[in-house]
A and B are shown apart, each in its own frame.
Chain A
Amino acid sequence: MAGIVSYGAYIPMYRLSRAILGQVWGGGGKGEKAICNCDEDSITMAVEAGTDCLKGTDKKSVDAVYFASTTAPFKEKQSASFVAAALDLREDVIASDFGNSLRAGTLALRAALDAVKAGSAKKVMVVVADCRLPAPNSAGEGALGDGAAALLIGATDIAVEIEASAYTYSEFLDVWRLETDRFQRQWEERFILDEGYEAHMKKAFAAFLKVHKVAAKDFTKAAFYGPNARSHQTVATALGVDPKTQLQVPLFDSVGHTGAAMALMTLVAALEDAKPGDKILFGNYGDGTDVHSLKVTQAIDKIKDRRAIKRHLASKVMLENYGKYITFRGLMEFEQTPMTRTRTALTAMWRDRNWVYRCHGHHCTKCDKTQFPLQKRCMYCQAEEKYLEEVPLSDRKGVLFTYSMDERTAVTDPPNILGAINLDGGVRIFSQVTDRDVKTVKVGMPMEMTFRRIHDALGVHNYFWKCRPARD
């Protein structure tokens, strides 16, 4: 037996109104889309969704983490290992990447279910994140959004049983990116929707219902992928679900098309509202199809305290203008000043890995004070290192003690806000403040930790923790 034990999700705080795109390029567009801050990517979003998913779970109980994305920040170098380290998982966890397909998330889910069923792992976390870069003035620029979802798969305390699943593969070529492509390519839309998504999904759903001798009306909700609202609706109609009561519509108007993350984010949105006994028809598309019949158990009520979709959706800041957006995405060339370059030392990153990635601080067993980063001597009582014990700090909440807003630092999104944050348990962290509304930053505001891509230097992405005003 294997099923979903916990869920989580992540939606970046920044939203871009499609009206702004209309102002820039002409044309209209309704709603908004979620976009990564300039210090976010698929790895950092996966850490966020994973943190949400693991709330209340002993992190040491996770045996494997499967990261799925079509936008892994490195072409060569695994993402799952960064995610596992930032989540402070055990070192013997099996970390693996799934990619190259919009269905990467549900394929990772299958691998997780198989591992738990086979007994090779007791708990596996599947985390899917995508932030695909649309070309300026393309349909994708309005459509594509960023987000992540995570599921914890286990054999006990199952909140959602997976009753049945069916998979197909397909060599159908609709959307793709080659090795050197920055932006997605696609064939004529009428072809890829008619013959691709709609035909494949209609067929997969029909076959599934027939084999398992069920009808659409037997399900509380249908939660499945769609390339856009209209095509999604077409498949829903063919499937025979009531669009008003049964259909879990993906967040096209508020988040956008989140690529590989869309199907699982839509499922998480359905699970947020689910009651014990509910049945969910779940499906995904991309290089084939998968369809699943899910049954919600009593345990669902114990995991409702996630930020998941609803709370992340409500906590947002509208991006002021298109200039900010293209700056965040690195889509334009700007004036170069002869500023000295950002540097990094991967040797130092490796030596410091326990505080750089795992956010460990030192607790002094002599004076009982906790401090960050890791020390050679206690900064309070000068006790030697042997009296210092590593403690994880990334989950702690805090308040902003003091700050400044530096307009001149070479950061992508000035001002650079420097913060001294007092975390629970008497720990001070000196950090950049990200995901902030400059107008509302003030002494005493609640803060929390967030894992970010801190800078790129010498051709490497460098990750570290920052603080942000606590999201609701």
Chain B
Amino acid sequence: MAESIKDKVAIVGMGCTKFGERWNADAKDMITEAVDEALQDAGVELKQIEAIWQGTQWGTQLSEGGVATGTLVSGTLQTQYIPVTRVENACGTGAESLRGATFALAAKGYDLVMAVGVEKVKDMGFGGLPSVWIGRWEPVYGAFGTGPGRYAMAAVAYFAKYGLSNEEGKRVLAEISVKSHSYGAKNPKAHLRREVTIEQVLNAPMIAWPLGLFDCCGVTDGASAAILCRAEDAKKYRKDYVNIKAFGMSASPGWGKERIDYDFTYWDATQHAAKAAYAEAGIKNPRKELDMVELHDCFSIAELIASESMQLCETGKFKEQMTATRAYYHDGEMPVNISGGLKSFGHPIGASGCREVYEIYKQIQKKADLPARQVKDVKLGLAHNQGGHPGKFICGVTVIGQP
């Protein structure tokens, strides 16, 4: 019979590279950077690691034309014939790399394992993501939809459903971006480190109406890593280890946007993944019980809708319960994306999910880089990571906390 994963597995070391346009670093450099930090943090040597889950969407395919298999990590780190499993769920890849590592430990297949997320995207020669590979998957279907184009449809639908004028709606979204940038500015490893004003956000060049430049996350290079063991072994490595409380993982059937009953104002896979994670972690009132949330805010509207879909506020009440009350700031009632989020910390596809957990892990250990970003007394946090687009998401929700 299936058992709960709660408190069975612990994170004993984590690493995260500086995120950004890393012109002088390739995937191998960043893997090494993140893994070295994680090994040092855990106080272990690479040869102690028995298996690795490598999360990447493209590996080195965008630049060097080849590798996305586990040999990217084995070749970089010169691991000696241990298993390296490459996992990929688009932007939700990171959560899946941690999940694979966690369940392998729970199954007692290994004692000490690692999850590594990496993406090198800035070798392409143009801004944005290569999702404009028109016709790669469906020769003609998909309407040339890009990330911003598809998420923007949700913003228009949300404004219409809740009676926000374009100006009101844009302002609610702009407030989110102002918050993200304020924390990115305070985070040395973040990609975008400049504060912005509401006016700057509102007047920025349009990317996909109604989303402007500052409504969209950076296109980022980076890597992150986590070292995990079973909870009963964690004390061997450190005192302030952090436990996995729950994994919620949900793949939507994927035709949401083609269903007449989907209105684009909620993320269905996120709802399901959060519900499963809350049940496993024993969370009844997420807004009250979660001390912080790192959620998948590739766009400002993504933070708004994910917040509602995970019940961090009531559905349709984001403006009243998050914006007006400033609940989502680090000293608010429901801190969200105090790292700067995907929006400002950056979003290297395969690394983001693990990076979100890194932020919560550090916050629980009271090791936020600057006091201005330290959330008070974090015992329980949630990382939300999703890939795909509105109506077709695969979502991973990871809850971690003090043992």
Task: Give the contacts of A229-271 with B (CB-CB under 8 A).
Answer: none
Expressed in whole angstroms, the Cα–Cα distance for A154 and B83 within the complex equals 72
- Contact of A344 with B by CB under 8 A: yes
Is B150 a contact partner of A404 (Cβ separation < 8 A)? yes
What mask results when residues 458 to 472 of chain A are scored 1 for a CB within 8 Å of chain B, else 0?
A: 000011101000000
Task: Give the contacts of A345-384 with B (CB-CB under 8 A).
Answer: 345-346, 348-349, 352, 356, 369, 371-373, 375, 379-380
Instruction: Report B383 CB to chain A, min CB distance, Å.
Output: 27
Give chain A residues whose Cβ lies under 8 Å from the Cβ of B141.
Answer: 352, 356, 373, 464
Is B144 a contact partner of A411 (Cβ separation < 8 A)? yes
Chain B binding surface SS class: loop
**Segment of A120-128, A276-284, A426-434 in the binding face:** A426-434
- Contact of B134 with A by CB under 8 A: yes
Q: Which of B133, B138, B208, B258 contacts A404 (CB 8 A)?
A: B208
Is A432 a contact partner of B144 (Cβ separation < 8 A)? yes
Is A415 a contact partner of B209 (Cβ separation < 8 A)? yes
Task: Give the contacts of B195-225 with A (CB-CB under 8 A).
Answer: 205-211
Instruction: Report B121 CB to chain A, min CB distance, Å.
Output: 12
Interface size class of A (residues with CB under 8 A): 35 or more
Is B207 a contact partner of A428 (Cβ separation < 8 A)? no
- Contact of B146 with A by CB under 8 A: yes
Is A406 a contact partner of B258 (Cβ separation < 8 A)? no
Instruction: Report A67 CB to chain B, min CB distance, Å.
Output: 21
Give chain B residues whose Cβ lies under 8 Å from the Cβ of A457.
Answer: 134-135, 139
Expressed in whole angstroms, the Cα–Cα distance for A426 and B253 within the complex equals 19
Is B150 a contact partner of A418 (Cβ separation < 8 A)? yes
What mask results when residues 308 to 347 of chain A are scored 1 for a CB within 8 Å of chain B, else 0?
A: 0000000000000000000000000000011111111110
- Contact of A408 with B by CB under 8 A: yes
Q: Which of A345, A348, A403, A418 has the largest count of B CB atoms less than 10 A from its CB?
A: A418
Q: CB-nearest residue of chain B relative to A377?
A: B253
Is A432 a contact partner of B134 (Cβ separation < 8 A)? no
Give chain A residues whose Cβ lies under 8 Å from the Cβ of B75.
Answer: none
Instruction: Report A382 CB to chain B, min CB distance, Å.
Output: 8
Give chain B residues whose Cβ lies under 8 Å from the Cβ of A454.
Answer: 140
Q: CB-nearest residue of chain A relative to B160?
A: A443
Give chain B residues whose Cβ lies under 8 Å from the Cβ of A408.
Answer: 127-128, 146, 148, 207-208
Give chain B residues whose Cβ lies under 8 Å from the Cβ of A411.
Answer: 144
Is B126 a contact partner of A379 (Cβ separation < 8 A)? no
Give chain A residues whose Cβ lies under 8 Å from the Cβ of B149.
Answer: 404, 406, 409, 416, 418
Interface size class of B (residues with CB under 8 A): 35 or more
Give chain A residues whose Cβ lies under 8 Å from the Cβ of B66.
Answer: none
Q: Which of B143, B210, B253, B259 has the largest count of A CB atoms less than 10 A from its CB?
A: B143
Q: Which of B134, B140, B258 contacts A429 (CB 8 A)?
A: B258
Is A344 a contact partner of B260 (Cβ separation < 8 A)? no
Give chain A residues whose Cβ lies under 8 Å from the Cβ of B154.
Answer: 402
Task: Give the contacts of A387-427 with B (CB-CB under 8 A).
Answer: 401-411, 415-416, 418-420, 422, 426-427
Expressed in whole angstroms, the Cα–Cα distance for A427 and B260 within the complex equals 6
Is A418 a contact partner of B255 (Cβ separation < 8 A)? no
Give chain A residues whose Cβ lies under 8 Å from the Cβ of B67.
Answer: none
Expressed in whole angstroms, the Cα–Cα distance for A346 and B153 within the complex equals 30
What mask results when residues 230 to 266 of chain B are scored 1 for a CB within 8 Å of chain A, else 0?
A: 0000000000000000000000010101111011100
Instruction: Report B401 CB to chain A, min CB distance, Å.
Output: 36
What mask results when residues 130 to 162 of chain B are scored 1 for a CB within 8 Å of chain A, else 0?
A: 101111101111111110111111111100100
14 pairs, CB–CB < 8 Å, chain A vs chain B: A338-B126, A339-B126, A340-B130, A345-B139, A404-B208, A407-B205, A407-B208, A408-B208, A411-B144, A418-B143, A419-B153, A420-B153, A420-B264, A430-B258
When A and B form their complex, which 5 residue pairs have the shortest distance between CB atoms, in order from nearest? Answer: A404-B152, A406-B149, A338-B125, A464-B140, A405-B209
